[in-house]
Structure 1
Amino acid sequence: MAFFRARTTLLTTLRRTFSSSSSTPVTEAKPPKMSDYLLTNDLASQIGTSMPISMMRIGTLIHNIELRPSEGGKLVRSAGTVAKILKEPSATRRVLVRLPSGVSKMIDTRCRATIGSVSNPSHGAKKLKKAGNSRWLGRRPVVRGVAMNPIDHPHGGGEGKSKGHLSVSPWGKPTKGGYKTACPKKKNRVI
């Protein structure tokens, strides 16, 4: 098992039993113990098993979902996330899956997924102790336009906390109203 700085979850290198020379890194679903077997195409619903979605039951919690068959996992790969199978495969060979965002998505039944949730669920609860920790992650500070000088932002300058006119972007475009303001969308729509 190894933890990579670029990833938020643990990775395990599996050695295939039929070929000792090939090894594959996979994301962990609840850390396996040493010498555990992870099944790759069995009907047993064991955590960490990877199989086509057509072989899974309704209500199964899955992660690392493919969008197209044999393309590799694209969805639900972040630390601690999990998706749920909602409907059985229909005549169109698609199954309904509820993603962590709340959006339901139709996915081809030939696509593979891994049973269980991604490891390291406490990643989102981790506190950054100081501003430097955010900078190490590549996040720059967010500064209000009112706190800037007039040369830096249209809201800058003035006496006290006044900005003097409507809210605008740093480039002078209005931020509120008009066609650029998104309408609230329902999360339960099917993509």
Structure 2
Amino acid sequence: MSTDDSFAAAYREHYWAVSRFVARRLDAGEAHEVEEVVADVFSIAWRRRAELPAAPLPWLYAVARNCLANTVRGLGRRRRLLHRLGHHETANGRQTVDSPDAERPGSWVHEALARLSPADQEALRLTSWEELGIEELAVALECSSGAAAMRLHRARRRLRAEIDRMQMHVRAGRAGDDRD
């Protein structure tokens, strides 16, 4: 199979997986950016089509992570500018949930995840949302399998600790309500 054919097959097979990968990492207000980032990913994949591995999805995720980093930096600069100009609602589009007993059950998990470092968040998202195994995670994170396994282990431990902290905070708040 030629490199052009390999690229075409990777594009057909993985376009939607890469689109979902990107969409899950951008805020809802930035949905218009998804197509831009995905276009960048496949543009890079086209230029580097001779390097496409036999199983290209983890490699495409690595490219997408780098494209997303560039986009997020640009969006951050835009938010800071809007904030300075006084458009606070636009600049602060993300909404968080206060506690595990909030209206939307499960949304507090997203807040616990958001409290982790970007590296921990990415390791957890790649294995949970993108369903990558350790070997694929290593390709996407551009590290060894051992390093990927250790990063995932530590990220899971930190997430558990953050969830426990949030639950203790809620329990302490309820105990204070009982005394009133």
Give the shorter-chain TM-score range: under 0.3
Scaled by the length of structure 1, the TM-score of the pair is 0.25
Which structure has the highest helix share of the two?
2
Scaled by the length of structure 2, the TM-score of the pair is 0.26
Larger radius of gyration: 1
